[in-house]
Amino acid sequence: MKIQQEQVFENNKKNLKNHEESYDFLANKLSKDGHDVSKIVSELSDFQVAIPSWALGAGGTRFGRFSFYGEPSSLEQKIDDIGVLHSLTQTAGAVSLHIPWDIPSDYAAIKEKADALNIKFDAVNSNTFQDQKDAAESYKYGSLSNTSKAVREQAIQHNLDVIKIGDKLGSKALTVWLADGSCFPGQNNFQTAFQNTQDSLIDIYKGLPDDWKLLVEYKPYEPNFYSTVIQDWGASLMLANGCGDKAYTLVDLGHHLPNSNIEQIVSILQLKGKLGGFHFNDSKYGDDDLTVGSIKPYALFLIFNELVYGMQNNPQNPDLAWMIDASHNVKDPLEDLIQSLEAIQEAYAKAMLIDQNALKAAQIDNDVVKCQEILQGAYRTDVRPLLEKARLNTGGALSPINAYRELNVRGSLISERGKHTVATGL
Ligand code: PSV
Ligand code: MN
Ligand code: MN
């Protein structure tokens, strides 16, 4: 299944007039308010988010999994699906692979396919949270933190292998997320587990090519429910600092205890030049991995406010690796990803409308009411015509969800691949 540019163009026709009217109205108003509208639109067109290979099939819980049919069952098919997303949204120009779920059988062919669809290989993810077939050692009691040297060595070697795989594809970052921790008090010595993890990460870091980054992802709980070795941004930052300049903290929105102030974490990490990457999703309770912006869109906007501020004011912080890390049980995964991409773009566009100078002046005056008015004024603006314009300028669909349905993408995938397919991954 490949969407032709011509199909998108035809599909846009019927909505073009409506779009032009709403865009002109909004652009006029924003220009009068002093915004550089074409700059905002081109920033939106440039903003690309990696799609994780494991989000293309229906998710599941430990209680069950309900297929959406026509799911990709090979890496080639996963790249094809991202091609569909990218044709419609022009925002999904990258893929993030999870190894060993996505080991390419033919590197040249995979690269060629991704190139043809304009898809880059973003951060590669290692997996030491599952035992692999025929592996000598088990990760049941941890990987990089394990008390057994043999287990730690196997996990280190896996990460070095993942770097090699990513290198062949053009990736420039390794993301490490560990399930390591303990389920019961007394099970682990916290200090030993942390020190083992640091030493193991340093060994991995030594194998990192010069132009690569090591992204250390944190998460407070699950699958371990008493303690997790890399539980929060502080632990991640300590470990990154212990490795060196090419190691950074990765923030996954779902990896915080309820009510954590994620925007503040993001802000301070950028100040210290240590925010390396981002996993977008949304949640009500824990690591729910729901569609981005579906539960707390205002929190997402506040995070983007800090990200925009950091991108403008913190040259010490590198460009970020953006990725969606969502998956659930009840939506067509491609529709879910389209909605997530739209929510990310919307939050980004609204954050770009914040008058940073006026906000700074109001902060200095301690005009608390004005500060809130400035933020919420931007948040309440319906920026969707700007997103439409950004997509239109780059050959995307005015309404990706409607186009996806009208072009019967899922139906075509089912007739190509069959009904009972299973995507590799969780
Ligand atoms: C863990 O919950 C996580 O967020 C990590 O990023 C993993 O790599 C990903 O989910 C997929 O399991
Ligand atoms: Mn994640
Ligand atoms: Mn997660």
Atom of ligand 1 nearest to the CA of 179: 1
Instruction: Compute the distance from residue 320 Cα to the ligand 2 centre, in Å.
Output: 14
Domains parsed from the chain with CATH numbers = 48-350 (3.20.20.150)
- The secondary element (H helix, E strand) that includes residue 214 is strand 213-217
Instruction: Compute the distance from residue 304 Cα to the ligand 2 centre, in Å.
Output: 18
- State residue 200's pLDDT score: 99
| Minimal-distance CA residue to ligand 1 atom 9 | 325
- Residue to substitute in 217, 224, 289 for testing ligand 1 pocket (most ligand atoms within 8 angstroms of CB): 217
Confidence of residue 422 (pLDDT cuts 50, 70, 90): low
Confidence check: pLDDT of 92 > 90: yes
Instruction: Compute the distance from residue 177 Cα to the ligand 1 centre, in Å.
Output: 7
- What ligand is nearest to the CA atom of residue 222? 1
Percent of the chain's residues with pLDDT above 70? 98
- What does each C-alpha distance from 235 to 152, 195, 219, 231 come to in angstroms? 19, 11, 10, 6
Confidence check: pLDDT of 106 > 80: yes
Average pLDDT of the segment spanning 280-301: 97
Please classify residue 259 by burial: count the beta carbons closer than 10 Å to its beta carbon, then call 0-12 exposed, 13-18 middle and 19+ buried. Answer: exposed
Average pLDDT of the segment spanning 360-368: 98
Instruction: Compute the distance from residue 78 Cα to the ligand 2 centre, in Å.
Output: 19
Average pLDDT of the segment spanning 338-344: 98
Average pLDDT of the segment spanning 312-319: 98
| Minimal-distance CA residue to ligand 1 atom 12 | 426
- pLDDT tens-digit profile of 43-54? 999 999 999 999
Q: Which residues of 43-75 are buried (b: 16+ CB within 10 A; e: fewer)?
A: bbbebbbbbbbbbbbbbeeeeeeeebbbbbebb
Instruction: Compute the distance from residue 251 Cα to the ligand 3 centre, in Å.
Output: 10
| Minimal-distance CA residue to ligand 1 atom 5 | 177
| Minimal-distance CA residue to ligand 1 atom 10 | 325
Q: Ligand 1 site: residues with CB under 6 angstroms?
A: 54, 125, 177, 217, 219, 252, 279, 287, 325, 426
Round to whole Å and give the CA distance between 163 and 218: 20
Q: Which residue has the higher pLDDT, 350 or 423?
A: 350
Confidence of residue 425 (pLDDT cuts 50, 70, 90): low
- pLDDT tens-digit profile of 187-240? 999 999 999 999 999 999 999 999 999 999 999 999 999 999 999 999 999 999
Round to whole Å and give the CA distance between 159 and 153: 10
State ipTM. Answer: 0.99
Round to whole Å and give the CA distance between 199 and 268: 26
Q: Where are the alpha helices (DSSP H) in 50-183?
A: 75-89, 107-116, 149-169
Mean pLDDT rounded to a whole number for the chain: 96
Q: Using CA atoms in the order 361, 365, 369, 375, what is the torsion angle rounded to 10 degrees?
A: 20
- pLDDT tens-digit profile of 116-152? 999 999 999 999 999 999 999 999 999 999 999 999 9
- State residue 419's pLDDT score: 81
The residue type found at 368 is: V
| Residue 74, Ramachandran bin (φ over 0: left; ψ between -120 and 50: alpha; else beta) | beta
Confidence of residue 58 (pLDDT cuts 50, 70, 90): confident
Round to whole Å and give the CA distance between 206 and 301: 37
Confidence check: pLDDT of 78 > 80: yes
